[in-house]
Amino acid sequence: MILSNPKGTQDFLPQQSRQKHWIETKFRETVALYGFSEIVTPVFEHTELYLRSTGLSTDIVTKQMYSFVDKGNRELSLRPEGTPGVVRAVLQYQLKLPVRLFYIGPMYRYERPQKGRYREFYQLGVETIGEAIPETDIEIIEMGNRFFNNLGLSNVITKINSVGCPICRPKFRNQLKMFLDKNLSDICEDCKVRAEQNPLRVFDCKEEKCQDIYRDAPKITDNLCFDCQNHFQVVLNELAERKIPFELNKMMVRGLDYYTRTTFEFVLTDSKELGSQDSLGGGGRYDNLVEDFGGPKTPAIGFALGLERIMLALGAPTSIKKLVYIIPLDSNAYQHGKQLVSTLRNANIPAMLNNPEKNLRAGLGTADTLSCNYVIIIGSNEMNKKVYTLKDLVKRTQQEIPQDKIIETLKL
């Protein structure tokens, strides 16, 4: 039997699970301030959903989907991202618009694993469906920033661009195609294919020689139609006014087909931990997706954050757990300890009792292994004086507490 997890997956051991839970709680608190409610959609959907939204020419659809045919001959795929499933559900249940939804859950992409890039990874995502005004873009970006600040991550900047709309993009596409045709002999093989299928995607290329050439290429940001230009300018002005750190990046086109107008990524400014996987999250407008799915014309915008990348950026979690470990030193104290452990649990204080066959030293060792924050020692001395010896393993202090004051002391 293979005793290891599949390539590209991760186990969240208790310490990491605690940190994951903490991040998710901060996320829930932050998005609630902006009126978001939770939606839970399936981990697999009909494959067609992703072909029609994420996009036929994207890496996600062409190379990274976990697709399979089930026993009923249905073509299904593990979700590579959350947006299509959420939009599908909004249409299926005809949710009243506008609606602000958030989700937390695993996504699946068959990628080459490396630090910060996995085949199973968690996203924390939001989708606002039915709001067209640029103020919504600003609120969403501000919310992302507020979340990172709430986590204590102050080194995150928003890279932002506009990718236009079906009015300005086709004209620009032709202009870019002409530029690429002129440089065809100098760009990489992948970009030659991109130039044919989806020219804007060339800006995603990681090859340095291609990037050098594209610096002189025409940019969509400089070729927006009047409405897209106005929308983008309001977003940029207001971000500056609200002092949200951002950087215009005209080469950023994002790797999904449904984007229109504002697109953005939350990037670590100092990415020692993450190297090239420095994008903690990304998103943008997708004003045509609902219509592409057969719904009415409905503007939308959202983003998704990578949970594992946030964990890497935060660094190793602190190991302290709110747990009291009770060590009785004899059988009389053990009987007392049994009552105490249940009294503490009844008062909502997590507690565990040492195995009576284990001595003080072994008990302290277990408390350490379990990362407890407190140890209560009960011996004959404590029983006679009606006190407990309370060790604070974080502050490294020890004191005697009257037995009837233990709950209020632990709750402080």
Residue 376's H or E segment, with its range, is strand 372-378
Cβ 155 to ligand HAM shortest distance, Å = 15
CA 180 remoteness from chain centre: 35
Task: State the helix-helix crossing angle for 307-314 and 14-32, rounded to 10 degrees.
Answer: 110
**Cα–Cα dist 300/130, whole Å:** 6
Distances (CA, A) of 92 to 87, 88, 266, 290: 9, 6, 31, 11
Q: Does 128 bind ligand HAM (CB under 6 A)?
A: no
**Cα–Cα dist 259/255, whole Å:** 9
Cβ 304 to ligand HAM shortest distance, Å = 4
Q: Report the site for ligand HAM in 277-316 (rule: CB under 6 A).
A: 279-284, 286, 302-306, 308-309
Candidates 77-85, 160-168, 243-251, 335-343 — which segment interacts with ligand HAM by CB under 6 A? 77-85
Q: Does 117 bind ligand HAM (CB under 6 A)?
A: yes
Cβ 125 to ligand HAM shortest distance, Å = 5
Cβ 308 to ligand HAM shortest distance, Å = 5
CB count in 10 Å sphere of residue 196: 11
Q: Report the site for ligand HAM in 236-265 (rule: CB under 6 A).
A: 256
Query: CB–CB of 67/47 below 8 Å?
Result: yes
Site size for ligand HAM, by CB under 6 A?
A: 27
Q: Does 139 bind ligand HAM (CB under 6 A)?
A: no
Q: Does 121 bind ligand HAM (CB under 6 A)?
A: yes
Task: State the helix-helix crossing angle for 168-182 and 189-197, rounded to 10 degrees.
Answer: 150
Cβ 314 to ligand HAM shortest distance, Å = 14
Among 18, 61, 65, 81, binds ligand HAM (CB under 6 A): 81
Q: Does 85 bind ligand HAM (CB under 6 A)?
A: no
Pick from 394, 389, 405, 281: nearest CA to 327? 389
**Cα–Cα dist 307/316, whole Å:** 14
Select the residue whose beta carbon is closest to ligand HAM and give its number.
Answer: 306
Cβ 302 to ligand HAM shortest distance, Å = 3
Residues that bind ligand HAM (CB under 6 A): 81-83, 109, 111, 116-118, 121, 123, 125, 127, 256, 279-284, 286, 302-306, 308-309
